[in-house]
A and B are shown apart, each in its own frame.
Chain A
Amino acid sequence: MSYTESHGAPKPPSMRTPLGRVRNLGAAHSGTSDFWRQRITGVAMTLLMIPVVVIVMMLLGRNQAGAAQILGSLPIAVILLLFIFASAWHMKIGMQVVIEDYVHNEKLKLTAIMLNNFFSIAVALASTYAILKLSSGV
């Protein structure tokens, strides 16, 4: 348990309620960091949306050789890597919120959250690997 307020020099009176102090960082023990990261990744994807749509448009109707050439170019690979990173993180947080809202059995909930992590990381790594492979021309 990280209980940062209980040690060290006396602090000025806190505005937090006793219940809030007991709960400290909340049920997930991570405070509002997920909320904030969901916003960061959401803004990132909004900014990347036009380039990503343009990239997908560029690939339409091309065969594998043409697609591989476009996907392997540096700016396009970087844009897609950023988009994949942001979306995997964003969807991991979003799905965790859904799980926490609807799955009330503690064991089932923890299992679902774990599977959610596995899925998000697997999708992100597989896509990243594909882009790196295309970029290196292997």
Chain B
Amino acid sequence: MLGRNKHQKPPMTARIERPLSPHIQTYRWTLTMALSIVHRATGIALYVGTLLLAWWLIAAASGPTAYAHVQAFTGSIIGRLIVFGYTWALMHHMLSGIRHFVWDLGYGFKANEREALTWGALIGGVVLTVLIWIIAYAIGGGR
């Protein structure tokens, strides 16, 4: 298109109607499609969440006051929600990633297999998250 002079430019009415590749709205939503986006979204969330991890480690290295600030935040309702969300994002992204490793190795491409792997990541992520939080509260982390 670059360098084309205006005399050669076709009028808008003469625009050739080329077939377009179907956009995302055209497709029937499948589980693997939705979870592909969730994998990416949890990855982005974990990316931002590393700030919390870094803050926590730096505070532990800095001293009691800084560490108390982190504990005050993670102990608050909003802090707990964020850490709970972070736990789920981490567990889900890990299991979803293991699903990708299975595919990388060349297995699990049949329709029922990929559905099973995807459900496994989805359910497994929730189960592991709840399990971790039950254990955390049981050993006194809820204080």
Query: Which residues of A are at the interface with B, using a C-beta cutoff of 8 A?
Result: 39, 42-43, 45-46, 49, 53, 57, 60-61, 63-65, 67-68, 71, 80, 87-88, 91, 94-95, 98, 123, 126-127, 129-131, 133-134
Contact = CB atoms under 8 A, between A and B. Distances in A.
Residue among B43, B46, B53 facing the most chain A CB atoms (10 A cut-off) = B53
B116 interface: no
A39 B105 CA distance: 11
A88 B50 CA distance: 9
Given A57-B136, A91-B43, A94-B43, A63 B58 contact: no
A99 to B, nearest CB: 11
B47 A71 contact: no
A53 B83 CA distance: 13
- Prevailing SS type, chain B contact patch: helix
B140 A123 contact: no
Which size class do B's interface residues fall under? 20 to 34
Interface stretch (B9-17, B23-31, B93-101, B118-126): B93-101
Given A57-B136, A61-B139, 7 more contacts: A45-B94, A49-B94, A64-B68, A91-B43, A94-B47, A130-B61, A131-B57
Contacts, number: 84
B13 to A, nearest CB: 28
Contacts of B47: 91, 94-95
A63 B67 CA distance: 8
Given A46-B94, A91-B46, A67 B101 contact: no
B32 to A, nearest CB: 18
Contacts of A65: 64
